[in-house]
Each structure stands twice: as structure tokens, then as C-alpha cells.
A and B are shown apart, each in its own frame.
Chain A
Amino acid sequence: MKMNIAHRLMKVRNNVNTDYIISGRYKFQVRDPKELAKHVFEDIEENFYQKINKGDFLVSGENFGCGSSREQAPQALLAMGLRAVVAKSFARIFYRNALNLGLYLLECNTNYIDDGDELEMDLSGGVLKNRSKGLNIGFKPLAPLAKKILENGGMIEYFKKHGGLTIEPR
């Protein structure tokens, strides 16, 4: 079975802002998400993108995604192949943007996840399984609307499916 690995940012533990995710230098001129992905975290940990395999997890601390409203941040993380971002808390605009694009964000205690640990997300059980440590880590349940948006692969599909905006999804 393919293992999905946890990747931790080592130098910046909390308050990882969207400028760090993708710098303004690139987001204003590069439109291809795959190209943007090559510059993710460049200012704080160079060549980070090279470590990521499809389905992997990014792990961080408090207030992940603070700062600017750039949707290129979750877009580039998705284009890198990440399955989900796991953090103690998320900044508001980033949270909405990730939801809208279909990137899973799991809010939980990340103290017991080390760089390189093997993780598995159990959405129905509401736990993140740390296979390397034999730990089940409960994450904050997703709001019903958030869950529906994610199940549809993002806000655009959700909107199209429901013929508009609704908070009482089918």
C-alpha cells in the first residue's frame, strides 16, 4: 500500500503566512499552478516541493495561512499533490479558499506528528491515523457545509450542482 508522508516545516512553526506559501513575486505573473508549486515555501525552505509525493500531508502549528487573500496559496499546495494540510489552527481567508478548491484542512493537535511519519486520514471516523507512532489523533469535525463542499471537490462544482448558493445541501 502506498504510504502518505507527513512533511513539517522546520524553520517556521506557527503563523505560516500566504506570502511564505507562495511569494508575491510569483503569484502576480505565473498562472500555471504546477509552475507555482515549484516555488512553494521558497523563502523559508528552499526546494520543499521536491519532497512531496501525491497524497502527502503538510503539518504545521497555529494560524496556518494567515495574511493575504491569495487563492494561489491553496492552489499551489494542491498542485504540489498534497492531500491535506494538518495544523493546530487555520487563518480564516485561507480556510475558505482551501475549502473552495477542495483542499482538506484538518484542525488537530500536531504535537505528535514528526516529519516523515506515515499518516492516514479517516474522514468518517474523524481521526488522523499516525501509523508510525500507532496514534489516532481526533480532528475538529468539519461543519456540514464545509463537508459538502469538499465532497463535491470544491465550491465551483458545489455551486453548479445546486444551481446556485445554498447552505442546505442535498
Chain B
Amino acid sequence: MRQTIAEKILSNHAKKELRAGEVAITEVDFCLGQDGTSSLIIESFGKLGAEKVFDNSKFAMFIDHSSPSPNIGVSEIHKSMREFAKKHSTRLFDVGSGICHQLMLESGAVTCGDLVLGADSHTCTYGALNIFSTGVGSTDLAITLASGKNWLKVPETIKLVINGKLPVGVYAKDIILHIIKDVTSSGANYKALEFCGDAIKRLSLAARFTMANMSVEMGGKCGIFEADEKVLKWLKSAHARKKPSPVVADEGATYENIKEYDVSNLVPQVSLPHEVDNVEPVGSVAGERINQAFIGTCTNGRLEDLEVAAKILKNNLVHPGVRLVVCPASRGVFLDAAKKGYIDIFVEAGAAVVGVGCGPCVGTHNGVPADGENVISTANRNFKGRMGNPNARIFLASPATVAASAISGKIQDPRNFARRLKR
């Protein structure tokens, strides 16, 4: 039988040959929860009557969504996570560590061919490492934590073939926003995405993480990439806990749809309030006044993202009408950015550099906008109220577009800084 990558990985974990549409119980290589979902995981785990976790080396919890805690309610949740981790000798990444997805990628916890379940919708990010990883809720995670398994329906796959060479000032974020506009918020519902094409081969791992991360914004169950040398190199430097076994799609595998894109003439893209697929070229909103700019998140808080922003912000000042918030994705990213001088550039430009974590993306702290304000952000969601205020508007864009806008006080095409961005 000729299989897609998703069909193959699920077959390997169910120990039988599966094709799209079938339901199977599969082994899970790793599972995780964060501070927004872990209190319910712990509660459900207790209700199941489970006494121990299936394998304490295959589970981790992360305190990243409200980190450090902004109030007593959250503090109590964090406390219960620490107690659970201690009791079951499982790994906990506490305040100051960073965003779960970045830490999962850096820590070597997962490798190609793995099947990973995370109680966070952006678990799909690890697809860039040739992993079938998908978000589930807390009870599903508790089931896996107790049994080492879960049931999954094998998804059909949409193949996305992305070719061409990106122009200066245009990035992976622009590609994925462009694709989301085309596929729509529900167009990949229940489906796997397979990303391929020569443009993908040229992209760095960080850029691929940005794209895999946003697969769920189209409803995708996962967004999987092939394992090329760049992937293997990443896994080697992360000291992946087992030898990678890359999974490739068979010639002649069945796809639900194949879509082709050429990015050679792509321009910077912006997602307009209040839906992620409401995407337009930057030109159509350039000049829109902004009050806050945010660079960070599991989508775009990596070193490469901070580097682009630093290039634009160097020897420039944030516009007096704008607050710029920068939140590195992890402790490692923060340290590297400091060593390279990017943190100095941000602080000198007038930015507030905040502690690592999800930052203001989820609306709990670190930059809740006021009524009537506009925010431009490198995050993945611009739902009404997402950043904590339903009366604010959120625009999504690449780190370059956000940095350029922070200087200008209005949405700005980063290609106006092209001289600084030459690759």
C-alpha cells in the first residue's frame, strides 16, 4: 500500500497498516501539557483512578502561558503542577524556561517518525521535524498519560508544494499567511498537511517551525515536513533521545488535494482582525495606526526572528505612540540574543523585553491592550479578545513587518528597510 507520511507514522505506531479514514489505537512517544491545560490533566488523571504515569521519561509539563504568575488563581495551578511532577518524578519546565513548543524542539525529547500528543493546539509545530504531532484536550492527554496510548483517526492528507525563491523582506510567516488565506480557517479540518517543494528546502528550521505551527489555523491535525539534512543536523545538536528514522511519503500515495504555490513574487502579508484567514498584502493596510507591537510566541519568538527585528530596529527608536514588547521563546533564545547584541538593540530602541514564555499572546499579562487600540503581533491568532481585551484589534505579521511598524507608528512594509535585510 502506498502511504502518505501521516499514514506511515500512524501505521508504525498502531503496528498495522492503516489508511486514511481508519480509526486505530496507537502508541504515543511523548506527551505534554502547559499551565492552561495541566490542571485539568491532573484532575482527569485522578478521576481515571490511574496511580502512575505510563513512562515518566515521556511526559513533560511547562509553565509558559502565564509565567511568572500574574495572580493567585494561576499560582495555585502552578503549585499543583509542581506537586504532580514531584510525586510522579516527571519533568517540569518552570518559570523562566520558555514556551513548551520551543523547549520541546530544543530539548531533543522528540525525533523524526515520532507520534506526539500535546495539550496545546500548537503541538503541530514539531511537524517540521518529520513528526506526527497534534493538539488534544486535557482528558485525552490524561488517557495517554495513564496508558501510553490513544485512539486516532487516520487523516487524509493535503499536499502543499511550495516553490520559488523568497524576495528580500518576505518570510516564512508571509508564506503561511498566504496559504491560510487560500485554504481558509476550516479548509484543512481533520486533515494532515504535507509541506514540500524547493522553497521549503531552502528555508531554515526556524522558518519551517513557523509554518508547521500555523497548520492548526487551517484546522489541520498536523503539518509534516520531510527530514532533510537540516532536520537531521538540528536533531543531532539537540541530542535527540533516540536515533532518527525519517519517514517519507510513497510515490503514488493518495492525497485529498495537491496545492501548488510559487513564492517568488510574494509580498509581505498581514492577517486582519478578527480571523486568521482574513489575510491581505501589507500594502492594503499600510498606514493603519498601531499602539502596540509584539514580537515573540511559539510562531515567531526564535533567534532568527529576533535577528530580523534587530536589523530593522538597530539605531532606530520605537515610535513614541507605540509600546514594543519583545518576548524570546526560551531561555536559550534569550541568552543567544543577548550574546549577539539583539537584546541591547531592543532595549536601546525603547522596547520592553519581558521574561520568556507565551507573553501577551494569550491575554493573561505582559501587555493587554486598551479599548480601541490596534496591536500588530507576530503571534498566530487574532481572535477578538485574544490578548485580553475584546475591544482591541490584532493584526498578525512577520517579525520584520512588526519591527518596521513599531518604528513607524503605523503598519509598515518591511521592504522599506530592504537595505538592512539583504540576505
Contacts and interface: CB of A to CB of B under 8 A. Distances in A.
Interface of A: 14-15, 17, 19-20, 23-25, 27-31, 42-44, 62-63, 66-72, 74-75, 89, 91-93, 96-97, 100-101, 143, 145, 154-156, 159-160, 164-167
B23 A92 contact: no
Contacts of A91: 186, 189, 219
A20 B189 contact: no
A72 B186 contact: no
Interface string B89-130: 000000000000000000000000000001111010000000
9 contacts: A17-B381, A23-B390, A24-B388, A27-B36, A29-B71, A68-B120, A68-B381, A69-B123, A100-B140
B120 A69 contact: yes
Contacts of A92: 189-190, 219, 221
B139 A24 contact: no
Nearest to A88: B186
A154 B149 CA distance: 17
B113 to A, nearest CB: 22
A13 to B, nearest CB: 12
B363 interface: yes
B185 A63 contact: yes
Which residue of B77, B146, B363 has the most chain A CB atoms within 10 A of its CB atom? B363
A77 to B, nearest CB: 13
B23 A167 contact: yes
Which residue of B36, B66, B147 has the most chain A CB atoms within 10 A of its CB atom? B36
A25 B138 CA distance: 18
A28 B147 contact: no
Contacts of B383: 17, 19-20, 67
Nearest to B36: A28
B385 A97 contact: no
A74 B364 CA distance: 21
Given A15-B275, A24-B36, A89-B186, A71 B138 contact: yes
A20 B390 CA distance: 10
Interface in B344-397: 362-364, 381, 383-386, 388, 390
B36 A166 contact: no
A92 B185 CA distance: 12
A159 B77 CA distance: 26
Nearest to B185: A15
Contacts of B194: none
A72 to B, nearest CB: 7
Contacts of A25: 363-364, 385, 388
Contacts of A75: 40
Contact of A165 (B49, B151, B364, B386): B151
Contacts, number: 142
A28 B23 CA distance: 33
Chain A, interface SS category: loop
B186 A62 contact: yes
Given A24-B386, A28-B77, 6 more contacts: A23-B390, A25-B385, A27-B36, A66-B219, A92-B219, A97-B139
Given A24-B36, A31-B73, A145-B151, A70 B186 contact: no
Contacts of A17: 381, 383
Given A72-B40, A165-B25, A67 B139 contact: no
Nearest to A75: B40
Contacts of B136: 69, 93, 96-97
B37 interface: yes
A142 to B, nearest CB: 13
Contacts of B36: 24, 27-28, 68, 70
B147 to A, nearest CB: 5
Contacts of B119: 69
B12 interface: no
Contacts of B40: 71-72, 75
A159 B381 contact: no
Nearest to B75: A29
Interface string B40-67: 1000100111000000000000000110
Given A69-B121, A70-B36, A92-B189, A167 B151 contact: yes
Contacts of A27: 36
Given A24-B363, A25-B363, A165-B147, A70 B23 contact: no
Contacts of A43: 384-385, 390
A89 to B, nearest CB: 7
B121 A15 contact: no
B385 A23 contact: yes
Contacts of A20: 383-385
A162 to B, nearest CB: 11
Contacts of A101: 139
Interface in B166-219: 185-186, 189-190, 219
The 4 closest A-B pairs by CB, nearest first: A29-B73, A97-B137, A43-B385, A63-B186
A59 B377 CA distance: 32
A70 B37 contact: yes
Contact of A28 (B25, B48, B74): B74
Nearest to B149: A165
Contacts of B48: 156, 159-160
Contacts of A31: 39, 73, 77
Contacts of B409: none
Nearest to B148: A165
